[in-house]
């Protein structure tokens, strides 16, 4: 079997009544014009499980795996570089900058940590063990070999990784610290990429401590016990202290343009865990710094 090409995405064909792979892809990815899919087939950019090109009229087979190359006509360039913190035969740990997505999503394919490193280091099987939001900076763990993926991803699923974050946000003098915030987080039905708190049994938990106090803003240390989407951003916003630079919470802005001068002041400071393959205690820490709370100008944020 040929080796896995760099930069391919995968989809497993579900049960259904499509006649061809092309018909399924056109319906499943309805935001991409059928002519684009036909061109990709003709350019041999649609592959089967053996990484061989699929014919334009290839029949639909439920359960089969199809590989395809994601393409964007005009992808924004992210002018910040990830830094490698650690590498061995199993792991690659990087210090991710703000504004760089972990893996292909939305308007970003090549300008992501995963695709940059797959190409630069020639590791086509490289995958992220977890994810950081595009706007969040800090420590990101990636797995180099397919056979090791589940062992490391299971650590995050089973909450066996001690994660420490830092954030700059307005002062919360009414609370007693350390403070633990619990709530039920659910997807916002009015905006699919946002989360919101609802009544019900808590499914998210964050311990919050204060590292430094300023007259207006405080420097917080956050320990997420669970790992819900946007958990830290929603929790601080719900307490009345939205993270500095957050355009999503508590209210979504209409701006679609990244402002590189005002990054989200949220940093994944460190990861600590027992390596499931070696038994070693692993600890990785970001070298990046958030803004000085005494120097935040209201006009900049």
**Separation between Cα atoms, residue 236 and residue 271, nearest integer Å:** 21
* Predicted pLDDT of residue 16: 83
* Predicted pLDDT of residue 77: 86
Residue 165 and residue 43 share a domain: no
* Predicted pLDDT of residue 29: 83
Q: Let me know if residue 294 belongs to a domain.
A: no
Distance of alpha carbon 53 from its chain centroid, rounded? 30
* Predicted pLDDT of residue 299: 47
Last residue of a domain, one of 69, 103, 118: 69
Tell me phi and psi for residue 149, to 5 degrees. -60, -50
Q: Let me know if residue 78 belongs to a domain.
A: no
* Predicted pLDDT of residue 34: 87
Residue 203 and residue 111 share a domain: yes
Last residue of a domain, one of 69, 94, 121: 69
Write out the residue range of the structural domain in which residue 21 sits: 8-69
* Predicted pLDDT of residue 129: 96
Here the CATH number for the domain that contains residue 123 is 3.30.2350.10
**Separation between Cα atoms, residue 95 and residue 103, nearest integer Å:** 14
pTM across the whole model: 0.79
* Predicted pLDDT of residue 254: 52
Residue 111 and residue 210 share a domain: yes
**Separation between Cα atoms, residue 156 and residue 129, nearest integer Å:** 8
Residue 151 and residue 52 share a domain: no
Is residue 217 packed enough to be buried (19+ CB in 10 Å), middle (13-18) or exposed (0-12)? Answer: buried
* Predicted pLDDT of residue 253: 59
**Separation between Cα atoms, residue 272 and residue 159, nearest integer Å:** 11
Residue 88 and residue 61 share a domain: no
Total count of domains within the chain: 2
Residue with the two structure tokens 């993926």 = 149
Write out pLDDT tens, residues 244-265.
999 889 766 555 578 888 999 9
Q: Let me know if residue 140 belongs to a domain.
A: yes
Spatial neighbors of 286 by CB under 8 A, at least 6 apart, are: 85, 95, 137, 138, 139, 267, 268, 269, 270
Write out pLDDT tens, residues 127-171.
999 999 999 999 999 999 999 999 999 999 999 999 999 999 999
For the chain, which residues score pLDDT lower than 50?
Answer: 299
Residue 44 and residue 104 share a domain: no
**Separation between Cα atoms, residue 144 and residue 42, nearest integer Å:** 32
Residue 271 and residue 165 share a domain: yes
Q: Among 57, 88, 133, 188, which one carries the catalytic annotation?
A: 133
Question: Could you confirm whether 133 is annotated as catalytic?
Answer: yes
Tell which residue, 94, 151, 142, has the closest CA to residue 279. Answer: 151
């Amino acid at each position: 079997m040929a080796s896995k090409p760099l930069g391919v995405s995968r989809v497993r064909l579900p049960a259904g009544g499509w006649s061809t792979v092309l018909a399924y892809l056109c319906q499943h990815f309805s935001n991409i014009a059928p002519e684009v899919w036909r061109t990709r087939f003709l350019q041999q950019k649609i592959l089967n499980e053996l990484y061989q090109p699929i014919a334009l009229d290839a029949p639909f087979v439920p359960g089969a795996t199809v590989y395809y190359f994601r393409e964007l006509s005009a992808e924004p360039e992210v002018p910040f570089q990830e830094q490698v913190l650690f590498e061995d035969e199993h792991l690659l740990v990087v210090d991710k900058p703000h504004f760089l997505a972990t893996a292909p999503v939305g308007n970003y394919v090549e300008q992501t940590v995963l695709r940059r490193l797959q190409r630069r280091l020639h590791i086509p099987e490289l995958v992220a063990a977890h994810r950081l939001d595009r706007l969040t900076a800090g420590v990101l763990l990636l797995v180099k070999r397919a056979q090791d993926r589940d062992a490391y991803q299971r650590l995050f699923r089973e909450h066996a990784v001690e994660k420490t974050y830092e954030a700059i946000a307005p002062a919360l003098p009414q609370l007693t610290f350390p403070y633990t915030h619990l709530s039920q987080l659910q997807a916002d039905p009015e905006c699919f990429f946002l989360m919101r708190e609802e009544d019900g049994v808590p499914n998210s938990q964050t311990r919050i401590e204060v590292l430094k106090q300023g007259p207006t803003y405080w420097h917080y240390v956050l320990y997420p016990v669970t790992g819900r989407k946007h958990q830290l951003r929603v929790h601080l916003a719900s307490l009345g202290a939205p993270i500095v630079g957050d355009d999503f919470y508590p209210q979504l802005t209409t701006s679609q343009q990244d402002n590189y001068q005002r990054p989200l002041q949220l940093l994944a400071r460190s990861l600590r865990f027992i390596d499931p393959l070696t038994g070693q205690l692993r600890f990785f820490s970001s070298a990046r710094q958030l803004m000085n709370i005494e120097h935040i100008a209201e006009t900049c944020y």
